Structure 1
Amino acid sequence: MLQALSVIVFASLLIPIVWQEYYAIPGLLLSGLITCSVGTGLTKLCENAAEPGKLHGMMIAASGWFLVALFGALPFYFIAWTVALDPTFLNVPRMQPEGYETLAAFRQPINGIFESMSGFTGTGLTMTNREDLLPRTLQWWRSFIEWVGGVGVIVLTTAILARPGSGSLTLYESEARSEKIHPSIVSTVQTIWWIFLLFTFLSILLLWLAGMPIWGAVNHAMTGLATGGFSITDNSIGTYDSVAIDFALLPVMILGSIAFPIHYLILQGELENIYTDLQTRWVFGFFGAGTVTLTALLTFNQTYDSLFEAFRYGAFQFISAASCTGFQTAGSLGTDWSAESQLTVSLGMVVGAAAGSTVGGIKLIRLATLTKGTWYRITNVFYPSSALRPFTLDGRVLSDSETSQEFEEAAIIAFLWMVFLVVGMFVLLITLPIGGDGYSLQNVVFEVTSVQGNVGLSSGITGATMPFVLKVTFLFNMWIGRLEIIPVLVLLRSLFRGMGVYR
């Protein structure tokens, strides 16, 4: 995984060359060399290791994602210090004071790690206060890591470096994925990347035709399709204040919300999967219901002057939230929107969209399983014990044991998700000023939901000036949110047992 990361660092050297930001080249080179050296050293150390089982696969996935975020922070750190030290032979250009200030945040390692974790996990919350003043190299790096992280670091590694029979399937499943397109996992991830590249190109073209400048179209297509939400502007998509761009981004975010196997089938001409696949039906139903609800709330509260404006901002923000993209057009959601509007958006962030896509959240398949499973259990009371009632899910008829297993897995993930959501809220409540001139409870709920759902919408809490303990808490929430909690808990349990904390 670290070797694959070094490949994308070295590939990014093209950006400072094209944009003539030559002072950024040493920082990228050093970042790539350090990452490649550590990755190569670990590879040699473990070259005779046995093929990983499920336990080790989870530990590798969790530790690998954390290390990728850690080493992915190096470009932020080195380029920020290069600008601060301003070596005369590198000809660092003069910047606006705000540019120096936003780069200075990355001279603190925790901020670079936060930005990297936010990027790779597709969260999109940032430590910068003026993204538009960042060097093009760092704008690209933020978009690139989010684009890669949307599909998955392990998927990238498997596509570039893995061989059949090298434990790739175990690692693939440990990255919160299960569905395969082809029998071979290597062929599956390669197909996923071809689909992703095609949709990226189409998204860039669509945004450019909608009036977005080409550099913005490239970056926002990458982060929109990856449902990550990093932007190169100061006020996210709201900077453009364009109805055409807002509505052009809706299909981009929806594409990122549908599972890759369904994209593959649709591209093969099997268009009926748009409505026959359970998750895809629920994606459109959930997005539609959330849009109608939010539009009604914004209209009732007179947040905007017209029904069209309420629909424009309501549709964009709910789909941005439920797709876990995190693009923002509606200004400050923490102060301008009512509590019920914020909580509606929070619901979208908790649920997310389809499993097997690029989104975070609990996932619609689990919501469908819990909803249908609960109704099945309740209605069972009204039937005699001798009655045979098959439970169907996504076209599959499940036995009693299969039904229990599906329901149990969905319930465990949902339960753990809510537990860590509450823990995150508790940390914010005891750390931040609440009430009066401070933050409201709905602000706290909104922010933690956004972090753990890997969304990136903010009520104004996240920033370089927030307390260190909150940055660490949010790092943990982003990490577990991307890997769906269990691999991280398995890793932590193994580490604690290895250190003798308990037996």
Structure 2
Amino acid sequence: MNTTLQTIARDLGRMLQALAGMVLFSTLVPLIWREFWAIPSLLLAGVLPFLIGRGLSTYFADAPEPGKLHGMMIAAAGWFSVALFGALPFLFIAWTASLDPTVLAVPPSVDTATLAAFRNPLNAVFESMSGFSGTGLTMTDDESVLPATLQWWRSFTEWVGGVGVIVLTTAILSRQGSGSLTLYESEARSEKIHPSIVSTVRTIWWIFLLFTFVSIFVLWLAGMPLWDAINHAMTGLATGGFSITDNSIATYDSAVIDFALLPVMILGSIAFPIHYLMLNGELRNLYADLQTRWVFGFFALGTVALWGMLLANNTYDSAFEALRYGVFQFVSAASCTGFQTAGSLGQRWPAEAQLTVSLGMVVGGAAGSTVGGIKLVRALTLVKGTAFRISDVFYPDSAIRHFKLNGRDMTETEANREFTEAAIISFLWVIFLGLGVFVLLAALPERFTLANVVFEVASAQGNVGLSSGITGPSMPTVTKVMFLFNMWIGRLEIIPVIVLIRAAFIRGGMYR
């Protein structure tokens, strides 16, 4: 085997071991909830990736450190593999409930139609990919009837996936050196909190843990039951959007809970380095940092626009109701969380409101946070870069110009590089969005409008999870596969997946 495949196999093994640790840790939940019948399924789902991961990491322990090419391929292959093996708890628990081994004493009430959907391996992989990618689209019809073990596993996958599987692996294994930095950057991250990448990822996790406990407390005070608060704090902060209720946050029908979730989602939309600075007393970054400033500005602008559309169309009975649902859904969309309070948006909201929410999902929040989408900094780079290019016409050739963005004073060469990167990723984002729309229009019944389809594909690729009513276990297989691809590329910002596919199909992965 060539050195590239050895490096990929070694680091893939480490990621699978981290996944195994997640599954085995989750056996605490059936012990607490007395769902003892689910424990063998979790043990088997944890042992399999551990054995495979341990074998790969041990056998290829002496493989070279990853370079930029390796890092992208490891990120793409690793995330897909984690989603694949992360489907095992869904699959094994669903089949255990169906087969009902006498020795396990499975309660008859457990084997619901919702759980039965996960006996289909594709549905289980879909749910796992949706969780780890922080998307939140689901194959469940009624999350409230799932065993607590699977309610937890869905939330846990989003909580870990929000920060990143590679970030988790680096924090656990404490591997110093350039290899860890390469992998960290391949997971669509660039800014470091400390010079050491291991110290950076550990600080990220400490911040994330702190905010998680604060979010749980806030939601509990707002009136959520404790179990609900734990799960929604995890998925809200991770901007994932999985819920343990049938109608997401609409189940509670509480304006207090709606408004309590807004700061949780906004926290997840701000870059971790900014959180670190603010926790150290540098509160000015709340407005001095360009991305953070634009997070609040973009959320406010989108909310006002959406509120106006809902008022103009008399969607709700009062201005307060329109504001309540408008601000929640836009922040949920632009933060790429995917919680819903307004029911199925495709049935009640006008097309222009759906498309406004779709714009929020496409753009997303700050780079370096837990959100999906193109990211605000890229959108800003495109806008300012376009203006910079146009104004270039009015300067003589001898002029030396500098491009300023977020406190950085860049030369024209550096500005061109930033602008080109933002343009390429945005262009690819739109191309694959269009591909998803084409596939869905061809496969779905005619009752779904173009606005419904664009909304759903943007939700999948933006890793958001809001639905216009399309996603569900009865979807055609081709649409499920398309959404799996959309969620995968959306989480990794497309390039790593394209690199992996090119390596696999054009050169068979035989890079030396």
Q: TM-score, normalised by structure 1?
A: 0.97
Deviations 1:16-50 (A, max 9, x none): 00000000000000000001001011112221100
Equivalent residue of 2:382, what SS?
helix
CA distance in 1, matches of 2:401, 2:44: 62
Deviations 1:369-413 (A, max 9, x none): 001011111122223333333210111110011000000000000
Query: How far 1:498 sits from its partner (Å)?
Result: 3.4
Q: TM-score, normalised by structure 2?
A: 0.96
Name the counterpart of 2:54: 40
Equivalent residue of 2:309, what SS?
helix
Equivalent residue of 1:330, what SS?
coil
Name the counterpart of 1:259: 271
CA distance in 1, matches of 2:493, 2:159: 19
Whether 1:80 and 2:89 are equivalent positions in the alignment is no
CA distance in 1, matches of 2:257, 2:464: 20
Name the counterpart of 1:329: 341
Name the counterpart of 2:507: 498
The amino acid of 2:266's aligned partner reads I
Name the counterpart of 1:451: 460
Q: Of 105, 109, 112, which aligns to 1:91?
A: 105
Name the counterpart of 2:165: 153
Moved more, 38-47 or 302-311: 38-47
Aligned-residue identity in percent: 72
Equivalent residue of 1:415, what SS?
helix
Equivalent residue of 2:394, what SS?
coil
Query: How far 1:161 sits from its partner (Å)?
Result: 1.1
Deviations 1:219-274 (A, max 9, x none): 00000000000000000000000000000000000000000000000000000101
Deviations 1:169-193 (A, max 9, x none): 0000000000000000000000000
Name the counterpart of 1:234: 246
CA distance in 1, matches of 2:190, 2:323: 36
Equivalent residue of 1:167, what SS?
helix
CA distance in 2, matches of 1:370, 1:499: 35
Equivalent residue of 2:404, what SS?
strand
The amino acid of 2:451's aligned partner reads Q
CA distance in 1, matches of 2:385, 2:137: 35
Equivalent residue of 2:359, what SS?
helix
Q: Of 410, 416, 423, which aligns to 1:411?
A: 423
Alignment of 1:382-461 (within 5 A): 382-434=394-446, 438-461=447-470
| Root mean square deviation of aligned Cα | 1.1
Query: How far 1:163 sits from its partner (Å)?
Result: 1.6
CA distance in 1, matches of 2:261, 2:404: 35
**Taking structure 1 as reference, are residues 281 and 378 closer, same or farther at Cα in structure 2, changes over 3 Å only?**
same
CA distance in 2, matches of 1:172, 1:380: 36
CA distance in 1, matches of 2:93, 2:141: 17
CA distance in 2, matches of 1:486, 1:388: 32
CA distance in 2, matches of 1:308, 1:355: 32
Name the counterpart of 2:84: 70
Deviations 1:204-228 (A, max 9, x none): 0000000000000000000000000
Query: How far 1:94 sits from its partner (Å)?
Result: 2.2
Name the counterpart of 2:476: 467
CA distance in 1, matches of 2:413, 2:309: 43
Contact 2:135 2:464 in 1 (8 A): yes
Q: Which runs of 5+ in 1 are unaligned?
A: none
Name the counterpart of 1:22: 36
Whether 1:59 and 2:68 are equivalent positions in the alignment is no
Whether 1:164 and 2:176 are equivalent positions in the alignment is yes
Equivalent residue of 1:171, what SS?
helix
CA distance in 2, matches of 1:146, 1:214: 19
Deviations 1:332-385 (A, max 9, x none): 100100000000000000000000000000000000100101111112222333
Q: Which runs of 5+ in 2 are unaligned?
A: 1-14
The amino acid of 1:65's aligned partner reads W
CA distance in 2, matches of 1:75, 1:388: 59
CA distance in 2, matches of 1:168, 1:380: 40
Equivalent residue of 1:398, what SS?
strand
CA distance in 2, matches of 1:166, 1:359: 26
Name the counterpart of 1:271: 283
The amino acid of 1:234's aligned partner reads D
Equivalent residue of 1:381, what SS?
helix
Contact 2:503 2:509 in 1 (8 A): no
Name the counterpart of 1:110: 122
Whether 1:476 and 2:485 are equivalent positions in the alignment is yes
Whether 1:6 and 2:14 are equivalent positions in the alignment is no
Equivalent residue of 1:163, what SS?
coil
CA distance in 1, matches of 2:398, 2:296: 38
CA distance in 2, matches of 1:60, 1:439: 37
Contact 2:334 2:361 in 1 (8 A): yes
Query: How far 1:166 sits from its partner (Å)?
Result: 6.5
Whether 1:207 and 2:219 are equivalent positions in the alignment is yes
Alignment of 1:229-378 (within 5 A): 229-378=241-390
CA distance in 2, matches of 1:499, 1:178: 29
Name the counterpart of 2:147: 135
Equivalent residue of 2:409, what SS?
strand
Number of residue equivalences: 496
Moved more, 374-383 or 452-461: 374-383
